Amino acid sequence: MPPPVVAIAGATATGKTALAVALAERLRGEVVNADSRQVYRGLDIGTAKPTREVRARARHWLVDILDPDQPFSLAEFLDLAHGAIADIRRRGRQPIVAGGTAQYLFALVEGWSPPHVPPDPALRAQLEALAERDGVTALAAELQRLDPVRAASIDVRNPRRLIRAIEVARAGASASVPPSTPVNARVVVLDMPREALHKRIDARVDAMFAEGLVDEVRRLNAEGYACGLPALASIGYRECCELLAGRCSLADAVARTKTETHRLARMQATWLRRRAKDAVWLDARSPTLVDDALSAISADTRQ
């Protein structure tokens, strides 16, 4: 039996990429990206995408594989991630899955089987108009009617996820399908006190804007990737879009990005505490974090 996959989860800004690369260097590993925005070319600063220098230290899979206007689903991620893990293992190396989209990581580890339903632009436009007119509660009510099981488990404040769940249900598939074979994995969750994490988030946001996040969005717009695209609706990008449209100041965009990232981190931490009870939890601030993680990983992951 091949050694378990190493899976690294944690709220945004807890240092998942840094740990994944350090472990890859120690374990002869390669990193499989589990972040739904780092798959897009050109979305670099706002996604905290690993730099070329970092990627030179360890091979990264599923980074820069799509243009920003191409859709990407959980089902597609799972297909690509399984292929990457098989390739890594075939060459005798250690797969390390890491990224900020915890749903992707746990879908892989737990063996979810999401339906392969392609996007329906006309339906999405209709549902977006419904949400604009009647609010996200109207979307939640529609999902409740179509798929009560999924409605009971989804974040009803997230219109994008509600729309996708409705899209799947309208296609005659269920988002609550039986699981497939799970991936054998050792899951490590990086954690830190909220106040310390907020300080780290604020420093990262300041650095992103200083490094040219607004110019990144301006360039993407000039290349034909409009702010209405789902890829540009994530935190940081949407605030820059508001800034470029003249609807807020630079100071407002920075402050909103920090506030929304704090909120995201709280949601991620809550989700992980509920979902990852059997994982190994490590203090992300530990000066011996890499050694702590190596100790936590079963000896059969080592080469």
User: Can you give the CATH number for the domain in which 81 is found?
Assistant: 3.40.50.300
Supply the pLDDT for residue 93. 97
Assigned domain for 79 exists: yes
For residue 176, what pLDDT is reported?
A: 47
d(CA 5, CA 21): 14
Q: Are residues 156 and 201 in the same domain?
A: no
Residues 75 and 91 in one domain: yes
Sign of CA dihedral 213, 217, 223, 225: positive
Same domain, 96 and 186: yes
pLDDT of amino acid 232: 94
Are residues 56 and 188 both part of a single domain? yes
| 65 neighbors 39 (Cβ within 8 angstroms) | yes
**CA-CA distance, 6 to 108, in Å (whole number)?**
12
Residues 258 and 199 in one domain: yes
Q: What is the bridge-based pairing of β-strands 94-98 and 29-33?
A: parallel
Distances (CA, A) of 293 to 95, 108, 160, 214, 298: 15, 20, 34, 36, 10
Is residue 257 in a domain?
yes
For each successive 10 residues of the chain (303 residues), what is the average pLDDT? Answer: 92 97 97 97 97 96 96 90 96 97 93 78 88 92 88 80 86 56 92 97 98 98 94 95 97 98 95 92 97 82 50
What lies within 8 Å, CB to CB, of 204 at 6+ separation is 13, 48
Same domain, 247 and 296: no
Flag whether 157 is in a domain.
Answer: yes
Task: Specify whether 12 is located in the same domain as 79.
Answer: yes
- Are 9 and 30 in a shared domain? yes
In angstroms, the CA 48 to CA 19 distance is: 14
Rounded Cα–Cα distance for residues 39 and 60 (Å): 11
| CATH (domain of 256) | 1.10.287.890
Q: Is residue 271 part of a domain?
A: no
Domain annotation covers residue 46: yes
The answer to whether position 66 is within a domain reads yes
Domain that residue 184 falls in: 5-114+179-193+277-301
Our count of domains for the chain comes to: 3
- What pLDDT does residue 173 have? 59
Same domain, 91 and 15: yes
Classify residue 103: in a domain, yes or no.
Answer: yes
Residue 258 pLDDT:
98
272 within domain boundaries? no
Full-model pTM: 0.82
Domain check: are 48 and 98 in the same one? yes
> H helices within 43-120, ranges in order?
52-57, 74-90, 102-110
pLDDT at 178: 44
Do residue 165 and residue 184 come from a single domain? no
For residues 42 and 186, state if they share a domain: yes
> Bridge-partner residues for 31, per DSSP?
60, 96
